[in-house]
C-alpha cells in the first residue's frame, strides 16, 4: 500500500510539472479577469449588433484569432455578417467592390489599394474569406491625407474640403470630447517628444468618428458588423464606441482587446475592464513585422 501511495504521488508530481511547463500562446479572459472558454465568447459575440476586435497590429496570435472568430461568426450569422476594418480607407471601397465583383484582378486590387505592409499575411485572409463567402467588406478609415490635414490644422482644416472629398469622412462638424482618456492619454504619452502637436488627439478622433459613421452606414437591424481595428480605437469602450453611442444609444456592442503580458496565467490589473473579452499573449511572442 505504501508503494502504491508513493507511485500516485510520483505521478501527481510529474503531472504538475507538465502543467507548469505548458506554454500557451494565449489566455482568454472576461472583462473582470475571469478565465473564459473560446465558445462562450463566440456565443456572446453572435448576439451583438457590432463587435470590435481590437488587435495588436504585429501580433500573429491576434491575427489568427481574428480569422477563427470570423469563421465561427459566419457559421452563426451567414449572410447577416458584415466585415469592416481600420486597415482600409473609405476611398478604396470602390476597389474592394470591383475586386469582389470580379471587375478587376487580384493583382490590380493589390497594386492600386493603399494596403498595409503586413496585408498579405495578416489581412488578406480576412478579405479573401469575405470574398469567397459572399460577404461585404467595408473600408471604414478616413483617407490618411485628411487625418494629416487635421493633425496640421485641426478640425477646421476639413472645412475647405470639396463636397466630393467630404463623402469619405465623418459628417461635419465633428463632435469631440478632449476629456476622454483615449485622447488625453495621447498627449500625455507624447509630452516628452519634441514639437508635440496639440492636434494629434483630434487626428485620432477624426479616424474614430469616420470609422463609427461608416460602420453605421453599412449596418442594419439583424446584422452583425465585425470590425477589425487597433485595440486603442475600442479599448475602455471609448473612441469609435463613443462616437457610435452619440449616434445610436441602443446598440449592442461587444469588444475584444489583445494585450501583451510577461505572465498570462492571470490578467494584469491594468488590463481589467479594457474590453468585454481580453486576449492575453506572452510579451515575447513572435511579431509579424
Closest CA to 230 of 252, 255, 248, 213: 255
CB 206 within 8 A of CB 86: no
Pairwise pLDDT comparison (264 vs 9), residue with the higher score: 264
CA dist., res. 90 & res. 114, Å (int): 11
CA of residue 184 relative to chain centroid, distance: 21
How would you label 119-136 residue by residue, b for 16+ Cβ within 10 Å and e otherwise?
beebbeebbebbbeeebb
**Cell 457590432 belongs to residue:** 50
Which of the four pLDDT bands, split at 50, 70 and 90, describes residue 195?
confident
Backbone angles phi, psi at 16, to 5 degrees: -65, -40
Output 4 or 61, whichever has higher pLDDT. 61
Q: What is the pLDDT of residue 2?
A: 52
* CATH number corresponding to 25-282: 3.40.50.11550
Q: For residue 261, name the pLDDT band (cuts at 50, 70, 90).
A: very high
What's the rounded mean pLDDT across residues 245-270?
A: 97
Mean pLDDT of 202-223: 98
Q: Is the pLDDT of residue 243 over 90?
A: yes
CB-based contact 269:31 (threshold 8 Å): no
Q: Write out pLDDT tens, residues 70-123.
A: 999 999 999 999 999 999 999 999 999 999 999 999 999 999 999 999 999 999
Whether the per-residue pLDDT at 1 is higher than 90: the answer is no
| Per-residue pLDDT band at 170 (split at 50, 70, 90) | very high
- Mean pLDDT for the stretch of residues 43-66: 97
Is residue 18 predicted with pLDDT exceeding 50?
no
**23 pLDDT more than 80:** yes
User: According to the model, what pLDDT value does residue 188 have?
Assistant: 82
pLDDT at 192: 72
Q: What is the pTM of this model?
A: 0.91
- According to DSSP, residue 287 is labeled P
Mean pLDDT of 220-229: 98
Closest to 66 in 3D by CA, of 268, 257, 269: 257
Mean pLDDT of the chain: 93
**Per-residue confidence (pLDDT) for residue 193, from 0 to 100:** 76
More confident residue, 210 or 22: 210
The pLDDT tens digits of the residues spanning 128-157 come to: 999 999 999 999 999 999 999 999 999 999
Write out the three cell numbers for 178. 478632449
Amino acid at each position: 500500500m505504501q508503494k502504491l501511495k508513493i507511485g500516485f504521488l510520483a505521478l501527481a508530481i510529474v503531472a504538475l510539472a507538465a502543467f507548469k511547463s505548458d506554454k500557451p500562446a494565449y489566455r482568454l479572459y472576461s472583462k473582470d479577469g475571469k478565465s473564459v472558454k473560446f465558445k462562450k465568447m463566440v456565443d456572446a459575440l453572435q448576439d451583438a449588433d457590432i463587435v470590435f476586435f481590437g488587435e495588436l497590429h504585429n501580433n500573429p496570435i491576434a491575427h489568427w484569432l481574428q480569422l477563427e472568430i470570423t469563421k465561427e461568426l459566419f457559421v452563426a450569422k451567414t449572410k447577416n455578417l458584415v466585415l469592416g476594418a481600420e486597415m482600409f480607407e473609405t476611398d478604396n471601397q470602390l476597389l474592394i467592390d470591383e475586386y469582389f465583383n470580379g471587375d478587376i484582378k487580384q493583382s490590380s486590387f493589390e497594386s492600386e489599394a493603399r494596403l498595409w505592409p503586413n496585408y498579405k499575411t495578416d489581412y488578406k485572409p480576412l478579405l479573401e474569406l469575405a470574398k469567397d463567402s459572399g460577404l461585404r467588406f467595408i473600408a471604414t478609415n478616413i483617407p490618411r491625407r485628411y487625418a494629416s490635414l487635421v493633425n496640421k490644422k485641426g478640425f477646421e482644416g476639413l472645412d475647405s474640403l470639396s463636397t466630393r472629398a467630404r463623402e469619405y469622412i465623418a459628417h461635419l462638424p465633428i463632435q469631440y470630447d478632449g476629456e476622454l482618456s483615449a485622447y488625453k492619454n495621447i498627449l500625455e504619452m507624447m509630452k516628452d517628444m519634441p514639437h508635440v502637436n496639440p492636434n494629434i488627439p483630434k487626428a485620432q478622433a477624426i479616424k474614430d468618428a469616420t470609422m463609427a459613421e461608416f460602420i453605421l452606414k453599412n449596418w442594419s437591424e439583424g446584422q452583425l458588423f465585425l470590425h477589425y481595428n487597433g485595440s486603442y480605437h475600442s479599448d475602455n469602450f471609448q473612441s469609435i464606441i463613443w462616437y457610435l453611442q452619440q449616434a445610436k444609444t441602443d446598440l449592442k456592442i461587444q469588444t475584444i482587446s489583445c494585450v501583451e503580458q510577461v505572465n498570462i496565467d492571470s490578467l494584469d490589473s491594468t488590463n481589467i475592464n479594457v474590453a468585454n473579452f481580453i486576449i492575453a499573449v506572452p510579451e515575447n511572442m513572435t511579431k509579424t513585422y
